[in-house]
Structure formats: C-alpha cells, structure tokens
C-alpha cells in the first residue's frame, strides 16, 4: 500500500494493520498478512504482481480469493485513500472505495473504519448494528 511520500512514513502500515483488524473482527474472511505473503512470494516468485495475470497466479500460490491493494495520496487539501479488492480468478477489481480524508482522520482511524464500513457490505458481509456503529463512529 503506497503512502504519501515523505509526509508520514508509517501511514501505510497504520492503514494496512487497521484493514486487517477490521476484516478479522467484522467478517468471516481469513486474512493472509503482508509478512506471510512476502515469505510466500520469496519462495515462489521473483517479482511482485505486475498485472492482472500475476494477481491470478498469486492467488493460486497463496490459496486466496482476493487481494487488497491501496494508495494514500496527499492532495492540496488533505489526503485521498483508495482501497481496491481484486479477485484472484481473473485479477479484476470487484470492490473499491475512495475516501477523501485528513491526516487526523487517518491517524485516529475514522477514515479507515468508514472505508471498511463501505467495503465489507460490497463483499456481501452483513454488518450487525453494533459493527456498523463501531465502524462509522456512531454511538
């Protein structure tokens, strides 16, 4: 996941860890984290996925159904975070969400949780009322 260059070097790690946590907490999806994936890649491939065909091959190697990628881009008024979920059958993006946000909203996780509140239902996850309130910050 790419971060806004030079602004906050740990921003992509914060987003990645929060996305993994939200997937595990609010869905039945099993998550293969980046560190485990890197070990698999080192053992099986010379490079990281460059195109849709590589995403399909990677899915077969890791026995995964989806791969999440994303970006955090600094704009003149804040940041824009985009998460994309591609299936490993054909490498096409099935689900995505783009969220304009402030650095504070990224740091306090509200933008990340809001994005997950949008993405999980796109993937067919029925959020409970409690989960929806937690992700959207409502009481």
Q: Which two tokens stand for residue 16?
A: 């990645």
Domain boundaries, the chain: 11-134
Tell which residue, 57, 66, 1, 63, has the closest CA to residue 34. 1
Q: Which two tokens stand for residue 15?
A: 């987003």
Secondary structure letter of residue 88 according to DSSP: T
Residues 94, 100 contacting (CB under 8 angstroms): no
pLDDT, the chain, mean:
82
85/67 Cα distance (integer angstroms): 6
Mean pLDDT of 34-59: 61
Confidence check: pLDDT of 79 > 70: yes
Collapsing DSSP to helix, strand or coil, 86 comes out as strand
What pLDDT shows up at residue 60? 61
More confident residue, 61 or 77: 77
28, 133 contact by CB (below 8 A) = no
- Closest to 102 measured CA to CA, from 74, 135, 75, 79: 79
The pLDDT value given to residue 102: 93
- Give pLDDT, residue 26: 95
* pLDDT given at position 5: 41
Q: List pLDDT tens digits, range 89-134.
A: 888 999 999 999 999 999 999 999 999 999 999 999 999 999 999 9
pTM of the entire predicted model? 0.75
Length of the chain (residues): 139
More confident residue, 39 or 91: 91
Q: By CB neighbour count within 10 A (0-12 exposed, 13-18 middle, 19+ buried), where does 130 fall?
A: exposed
Q: What percent of the chain is modeled with pLDDT above 70?
A: 73
- CATH 3.40.50.1980 is held by the domain 11-134: no
Whether the Cβ atoms of residue 20 and residue 12 lie closer than 8 Å to each other: no
């Amino acid at each position: 996941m790419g971060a806004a260059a030079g602004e906050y070097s740990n921003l992509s790690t914060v987003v990645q860890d929060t996305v993994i946590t939200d997937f595990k907490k609010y869905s039945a999806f099993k998550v293969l984290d980046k560190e485990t994936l890197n070990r698999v890649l080192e053992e099986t491939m010379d490079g990281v996925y460059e195109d849709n065909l590589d995403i399909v091959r990677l899915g077969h190697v890791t026995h995964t159904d989806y791969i999440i990628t994303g970006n955090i881009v600094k704009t003149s008024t804040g940041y824009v975070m985009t998460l994309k979920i591609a299936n490993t059958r054909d490498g096409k993006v099935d689900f995505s969400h783009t969220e304009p946000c402030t650095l504070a909203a990224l740091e306090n996780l509200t933008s990340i949780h809001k994005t997950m509140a949008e993405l999980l239902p796109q993937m067919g996850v029925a959020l409970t009322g409690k989960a929806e309130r937690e992700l959207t910050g409502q009481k």
